[in-house]
Structure 1
């Protein structure tokens, strides 16, 4: 049984066949799913999905690309939702210096505020980091994020950065790119991440794994990520599935 620790099955890309896509995931052996609500539009749809499906849990937070849209009262909204039994993390939060949609200073302020909220509520955090490795690690350290830990979602950085994140009580999660032939760095980092800190995900509908690359991703394809990860680690698929399920449940406090 697999845990897809990061997906967006509430996305508009699934409007035509969401129920069928969810059933395909269950049929593939995916028994736990963390869906991510990351702005004003996707937080309610994520909550709806978590209440509809027993297998789905929710993370709620404000994405760095949307940081500029965060208004007074939104942080309190996230705090209120964190009392829901299916909300197991705050995220995805972090920094994104690739897309020029929110000023860096705004992203950093919103990131810090949400880490502080996570520490107040004792919730793990789900980190989005694109082209901002140094600043992400610096802010995590300055805001004492190791007190709650979390996951570096769809990790794409170096082993040096990964080591710093591991030292701060974070798990490292890998998605579709580890199945790509030319993805040298993610594979090298995955090989070095301790098994007890490893997670797998899809980030559906994005980052579709081989051999479906170029098409819409869905949470059932986490099996392809797990197969690649097992091969890189030199263990069986079943063992990889068992370990990553155990890790995900431990991190997110799921029995």
Structure 2
């Protein structure tokens, strides 16, 4: 299986990062995409790719950090993206739930990163929270990279899922699909099918139901797979296989 969204460089993994990474083969993790959230953080994200051939990287500026970017942030991201380990631009997007950065800054920084992804022919990892309409308006009006990318931690309804899928994006599905009250996300999974899904943990955040309140990690993807298999009335191995194929096409194809 492939975890398309990790933050293994975060402090929550300082005590056992090496141990977790050493278990990737045993835990059936083909590779992870470790994701940066600002310039300095993206450097740290890229640095830990040295720990394993199974760690790839995304570099970008999260909408929370949009107000803090230096004028040359795109060129700095471009330099980082020269590494062969960098397979995506992100985490970028819009977050109007908390508006930690002003919406106008979020939009500007998001659009500039779309342009960077297009120029480098790298897919996008897009964060959207309480801003689906605005994010869709931007993505549907900008020239996108050929592979488009992932709507990370998708949390809206089927109507929005179909709109982003029609643009060419995959949906990142993780721990929240296992939550007992999250019937709406399971309904999305049932309607869109495996063709449009990749797996993610967003670790250390968003653990699956058995680990609510605890730190998430890549091996917990198995609980996401079990839930998706149940929703789609198919086998664990088919979900594992198809979602892995999707991730390989997007990030290694």
Q: Provide Cα deviations, 1:140-194, integer angstroms capped at 9, x if missing partner.
A: 0111326441001111011111111011110011010011111111111011113
Q: Equivalent residue for 1:195?
A: 194
Match of 1:217 in 2: 216
Give CA deviations for 1:25-79 in whole Å, capped at 9, x if unaligned. Answer: 4322112101001213321111111122110000111100000111122110111
Equivalent position of 1:10 in the other structure: 9
Whole-angstrom distance in 2 between the partners of 1:23 and 1:187 = 32
Q: Distance in 2 between matches of 1:40 and 1:116?
A: 17
| Corresponding residue of 2:89 | 90
CA–CA separation in structure 2 for the residues paired with 1:169 and 1:220? 28
CA contact (8 A) 1:28 1:223 kept: no
Query: Counterparts of 2:112 and 2:5 in 1: how far apart (Å)?
Result: 22
Deviation of 1:19 (Å): 1.3
Is contact 2:127-2:152 (8 Å) kept? yes
Deviation at 1:221, TM superposition (A): 0.8
Local SS of the residue matching 1:30 = coil
Work out the CA distance in 1 between the residues paired with 2:144 and 2:135: 11
Q: C-alpha separation between the residues in 1 aligned to 2:39 and 2:124? A: 18
Whole-Å separation in 2 of the counterparts to 1:100 and 1:167:
28
Distance apart, 1:81 and its partner CA:
1.7
Give the aligned partner of residue 112 of structure 1. 111
CA distance in 2, matches of 1:133, 1:8: 23
Unpaired runs of 5+ residues, structure 2, are none
Residue in 1 that maps onto 2:47: 48
Alignment-derived partner of residue 243 in structure 2: 244
**Structure 1 position 198, deviation (Å):** 1.1
Q: Which residue of 2 aligns with 1:159?
A: 158
In structure 2, C-alpha distance between the alignment counterparts of 1:23 and 1:64, rounded to whole Å: 32
Q: Distance in 2 between matches of 1:239 and 1:113?
A: 38
Q: Distance in 1 between matches of 2:25 and 2:129?
A: 30
State the aligned residue count: 253
Per-residue Cα deviation, 1:86-112 (whole angstroms, up to 9, x for no partner)? 100001110001123100000000000
Quote the Cα distance in structure 1 between the aligned partners of 2:31 and 2:180.
28
Contact residue 3 and residue 244 of structure 1 kept, 8 A:
yes
Q: Tell me, yes or no, if structure 1 residue 176 matches structure 2 residue 175.
A: yes
- Quote the residue 1:64 is aligned against: 63
Matches of 2:146 and 2:238, distance apart in 1: 29
Question: Hey, what does 1:80 align to over in structure 2?
Answer: 79
- Taking the aligned partners of 1:95 and 1:197, their CA distance within structure 2 comes to 21
Maintained 8 Å contact 2:122/2:145: no
